[in-house]
Chain A
Amino acid sequence: MKLKPRRGLSMPDPLVSLIDVVFFLLVFFMLVGRMDATAPFDVAPPISVLGEDLPTGGLTVSVGADGRMALDGVEFDKPALVARLAELHESQPDLLVRVNAHGGLRLSVLLPLVADTEAAGIGDVVLVVTPNPT
């Protein structure tokens, strides 16, 4: 019996280079990108010229300009949010909370939220800001 010689997995050169590019892009996005739960509403943090580096980890509390609140992308009303934070603090005493508030949010909403977060036992609360490009 005469077998056909087995053909190698030869592919056209443009396809090989395409795979290389796709692979590089894949690795790039895996390394550089950061997956984060986004709020179910629009949040544009206030602009600051003197912000510090945002620490990684912790929870993100988002607050829209209209006062809507979300914890790691899930919308909560304020009492439920504070209760959830208190629960999480019990299991993680060193919990960091990042408050990602809209720049146009009234302080009558923001400051009581921060105070209630602190009252829930959380000792590290930071406000997310956008660095000033100038």
Chain B
Amino acid sequence: MTSLIDVMLILLVFFMVTSTYLDLDMMPMVQRSDEAEAPAGSTAAAGAPLLLQLSSDGSVRLRGQVLARDNLAARLAELAAATPGLRVLVLPSGAADAQALVGLIDAATQAGIADLRVIRPEGGQ
């Protein structure tokens, strides 16, 4: 009986040490369905895409003007409301970090923008 308790304790310690309880989410980067959805006629109806620049300091620029982080989602929502089916292209600086990109994608998603693509900066490693 004592050895059974020992085994149980060892198993317990093993599971306690090796288990992870991180509550993590995900954001799709590449989806198999992209190819099927991209050629649809919606892009032609939406017109020219909106180009957002993500600077190395994390600021977002639209036509050279910096968009304030606080009301970025609201500003993008205005633009999305004005242009149904708005396509957004994000041109990030290679020096910007992943957090800045995720924050921008969050704001665009909150604004109701469904078609957002990230352009890979040239000169990356």
Tally of A interface residues using CB under 8 Å? 55
Select A112's contact among B1, B24, B103, B125, beta carbons within 8 Å.
B125
Does A83 reach chain B (CB closer than 8 Å)? no
Can you list, as one digit per residue, whether each of A2-15 has a CB less than 8 Å from chain B (1) or not (0)?
00000001010000
Closest Cβ of chain A to B79, distance in Å, is 18
Can you list, as one digit per residue, whether each of A28-63 has a CB less than 8 Å from chain B (1) or not (0)?
011011111010000001111111111100000000
CA–CA, A20 and B21, complex, Å: 23
Verify A22–B8 contact, CB threshold 8 A: yes
Can you list, as one digit per residue, whether each of B16-59 has a CB less than 8 Å from chain A (1) or not (0)?
10111111111111111000000000000000000000100000
Q: Which 10 A-B pairs have the closest CB atoms?
A: A33-B19, A51-B25, A108-B94, A29-B15, A123-B32, A108-B124, A125-B30, A103-B99, A126-B26, A46-B102
Q: Which A residues lie at the B interface, using CB under 8 A? A: 9, 11, 19, 22-23, 25-26, 29-30, 32-36, 38, 45-55, 67, 98-99, 101-112, 114-115, 117-118, 122-131
Q: Which B residues lie at the A interface, using CB under 8 A? A: 1, 5, 8-9, 11-12, 15-16, 18-32, 54, 92-99, 101-103, 105-106, 109-110, 118, 120-121, 123-125
